[in-house]
Structure 1
């Protein structure tokens, strides 16, 4: 006989909190004093930490194998728990931060646990990779913020899993003092605003800014992608410089290459007699890259979708750098790339699940993991950045 699934939405549960899971929450199960679930569902609970006992309110229950909840009372606290510095980092608050209630070192440990679990379960890769700290601390690091504007023209940040706009007075992740002037102004109702903090600490709204990385200045058109953590672009450039090892006079590809920061590193390796092909779908980014690298004639840009261009690029590459969107490369792109036979692929990923899947796909095509590093480029959130070196066997 099938037991009907009860809708737990808005129900208060007492939970034993288990391990952290991908997505900024932990896995909870109903405690001894709570109501057992005949379906054995788990509860993905935010604002909790492993080992805690909490009371949580169910916020979503679709009737499937899990439901979502927010911890509203801590009955047994973890030693890693701290007071969140922002009043909006709470149940029903801003959705931008997942881990403000954890010590920064504990945040990195949580991300490390998620990364290792995904790599082991999805890709069969077991190792001692650790999410590394970047300079600058846990607050004041975010140089790009996308604000939403409500129906009254008030800018703010969206609530967790919602289109509701939280009317924040500031965001502690942005450099101190940069956002309040923007948040204090009226804006077009229903719009979105991209705020970029330039190198001298001034907030710019939807205008070109200048950023620096890999020893160069990059003038960025509004909306063109740039890493939000000020140390990440140079960090990634350093890893590529160490791992790519493109031969002098050789061919390197920079796929999903943006304005060409990593291509500029590859250009130094292949030299004037080599070739670096950058493929990027954003024409604005390609235009910005061409303006930034007039002295590197070996770098060529193509404004196109990577998935459509891999088969047409010539000649075959010695080394490939990939930095795809969060969804990763996927089966078809990995297959097409492996068919071109590069000796090494330096793969940048911002999602551990996508990374693990892509590593498994590369393994199917004879590419073995030669190195892996991960960075806490998004403190207070569950996000991270990782770089993997794949070597052809």
Structure 2
């Protein structure tokens, strides 16, 4: 087993070392400065991948992971628990800067990063997988999406949800048949939701009320949802006014608020200016823009999210559909905030920004690679500012906000 010194981290969190023949080798769960023996080396023409073996010398920023699952089960939910928080943030800054320099060809330093106030206990939503036999419910080991280990406690998820899971996991006989996923979610009002996604809809679930009663008896109040695939989620027990528990909302709400406020301040819409809010979700950015005096047109594909935005207000012109499909219905904007999913914007959206020419675009991204790809698609804009936000401590993910101004 050959020893390799880890030089730095790659996007995704793997350590980077060099084999004796000069090829790069990617090794998960390693830290810069580690001297580690390699196992299960998979060689390719220009690079290799390996699993870490015995740690011969730890790097200066290596720490003991807090979560037992991270080591014992090789949990794939986190990638960087073995790194000190400051070193994690430096790595995430580097992931964003490197992607923008390489893929967008924009010459920038690594962006600054706004730290999270909490590095554990922050996620307000967790999605658990179910193994084919239904024996284990939990998360996937790193690089083994076909396997599931039984989750006891996720340390990056808020305790309110893990306390619910401690009770619920003991009531598995009451879970619905053909179970595919279990979602636990804490909403903004502090209410807990337990969503069961199942395959098919032929057989109704008769134990929802009993499950709710047993949870309540044990002090674990939650609204129970049942979602056949395909189909919409239905509140089965515990709901007064049903919150749309399956619509997208930032899993780290506190930091999500910080990101939205920064994005609106960066756009700086003048009173009465016309602004697009693309991929608008439940309308939180729209509300800030209206509060700043803008006239807003928003676009969101999820009808339940649009309905929630309408219920919350304020008034705006809201379009339901994919952004690329409704562009022709939108009035030309003075400014744009776009917050696409991890896959980034459809190329037709980038083309529309080039054609319509708003003075400023603020792009909120959860994937530096797709952000960089989309920046390359809008050559008519100068990149005037980039900032990272630490929404996902213990992982290799980073939220990045890019500010673009129309080139003269």
Relative to the length of structure 2, the TM-score reads 0.81
Structure 1 residue aligned with 2:318? 301
Deviation, structure 1 residue 23: 0.9
**Pairwise CA distance, 1:42:** 2.3
Compute the displacement of 1:166 (Å): 1.1
- C-alpha distance 223-85 of structure 1, shift in aligned 2 (>3 A): same
Which of residues 12, 22, 36 in structure 1 aligns to 2:11?
22
8 Å Cα contact 2:297-2:330 kept in structure 1: no
Q: Which residue of 2 aligns with 1:225?
A: 248
Shift of 1:208: 8.9
- Quick check: 1:185 aligned with 2:171? yes
Could you tell me whether the CA contact under 8 Å between 1:148 and 1:190 is conserved in 2? no
| TM-fit CA distance, 1:179 | 3.1
- Hey, what's the Cα distance between the residues in 2 that align with 1:381 and 1:178? 24
Structure 2 portions without partners, runs of 5+: 196-222, 226-240
Q: Does 1:313 align with 2:324?
A: no
Q: CA offset at residue 105 of structure 1?
A: 1.1
* Matched residue, 1:163: 146
Could you list the per-position Cα deviations for residues 125-156 of structure 1 after superposition, in whole angstroms to 9, with x for gaps in the alignment? 22241222122x21100100001112234321
Post-superposition Cα deviations, 1:21-73, rounded to whole Å, max 9, x if no partner, equal 1111121223xxxxx45xx54221111011211013237x3745333322232
Contact 2:256/2:391 (<8 A) preserved:
no
Contact 1:208-1:222 at 8 Å conserved across structures: no
Please give the secondary structure, in 1, of the residue aligned with 2:114. Answer: strand
* CA contact 2:32–2:61 (8 Å) conserved in 1: no
2:363 corresponds to 1:347: yes
Q: Are 1:375 and 2:389 counterparts?
A: yes
Shift of the 91–171 alpha-carbon distance from structure 1 to 2, 3 Å rule, reads: closer
- Kindly tell me the number of residue pairs found equivalent between the two proteins: 356
Tell me if the contact between 2:136 and 2:149 (Cα under 8 Å) persists in the aligned partners: no
Once residues 304 and 368 of structure 2 are traced to their aligned partners in structure 1, the CA distance between those partners, rounded to angstroms, is: 28
Pair 184,385 (structure 1): closer, same or farther in 2 beyond 3 Å: farther
Instruction: Call closer, same or farther: CA 1:43–1:182 in 2, change over 3 Å.
Output: farther
- Give, in whole Å, the separation in 2 of the partners of 1:347 and 1:164: 36
2:273 to 244, 250, 275: 250
Shift in Å at residue 193 of structure 1?
Answer: 1.4
Call closer, same or farther: CA 1:208–1:240 in 2, change over 3 Å: farther
**What CA RMSD, in Å, does the superposition of the two structures yield over aligned residues?**
2.3
Contact 1:178/1:202 (<8 A) preserved: no
Q: Secondary structure at the match of 2:253?
A: coil
Distance in 2 separating the partners of 1:13 and 1:261: 52
CA shift in 2, pair 1:183/1:163, >3 Å: farther
* Contact 1:255 1:321 (C-alpha < 8 Å) held by counterparts: yes
- Provide closer, same or farther for how the CA distance between residues 184 and 63 of structure 1 changes in structure 2, counting only shifts above 3 A: farther
Aligned residue for 1:381, secondary structure, equals coil
Partner SS for 1:97: coil
CA displacement at 1:386 relative to structure 2: 0.8
The partner residue of 1:357 within 348, 367, 373 is 373
2:381 equivalent to 1:389: no
Task: Tell me, yes or no, if structure 1 residue 195 matches structure 2 residue 184.
Answer: yes
Question: 2: distance between equivalents of 1:340 and 1:192?
Answer: 42
Offset of 1:163 from its aligned partner?
2.4
Answer yes or no: is the 8 Å Cα contact 1:208–1:220 preserved in 2: no
Return 283-292 or 176-185, whichever deviates more.
176-185
Write the deviation string for residues 51-102 of structure 1: whole angstroms up to 9, x where unpaired.
Answer: 211013237x374533332223211111111111112213752100101101
Q: For 2:43 and 2:169, how far apart are their aligned partners in 1?
A: 35
Q: Deviations over 1:281-319 (max 9, x none)?
A: 1111111111111xx33x121111111222x13321011
Provide structure 1 residue ranges, at least 5 long, that are not aligned to the other structure.
Answer: 1-11, 31-35, 210-217
Matched, 1:287 2:307: yes
Query: Following TM superposition, by how much is the alpha carbon of 1:268 offset from its aligned partner in structure 2, in angstroms?
Result: 1.8
1:349–1:21 distance in 2 versus 1, CA, 3 Å: same
Q: CA deviation at 1:122?
A: 1.9
| TM-score in terms of structure 1 length | 0.84
Distance 1:112 1:29, change over 3 A: same
Q: Does 1:125 align with 2:114?
A: no
Q: 1:110 aligned to 91, 96, 99, which one? A: 91
Give the superposition deviation at 1:226.
0.5
Does residue 87 (structure 1) correspond to residue 68 (structure 2)? The answer is yes
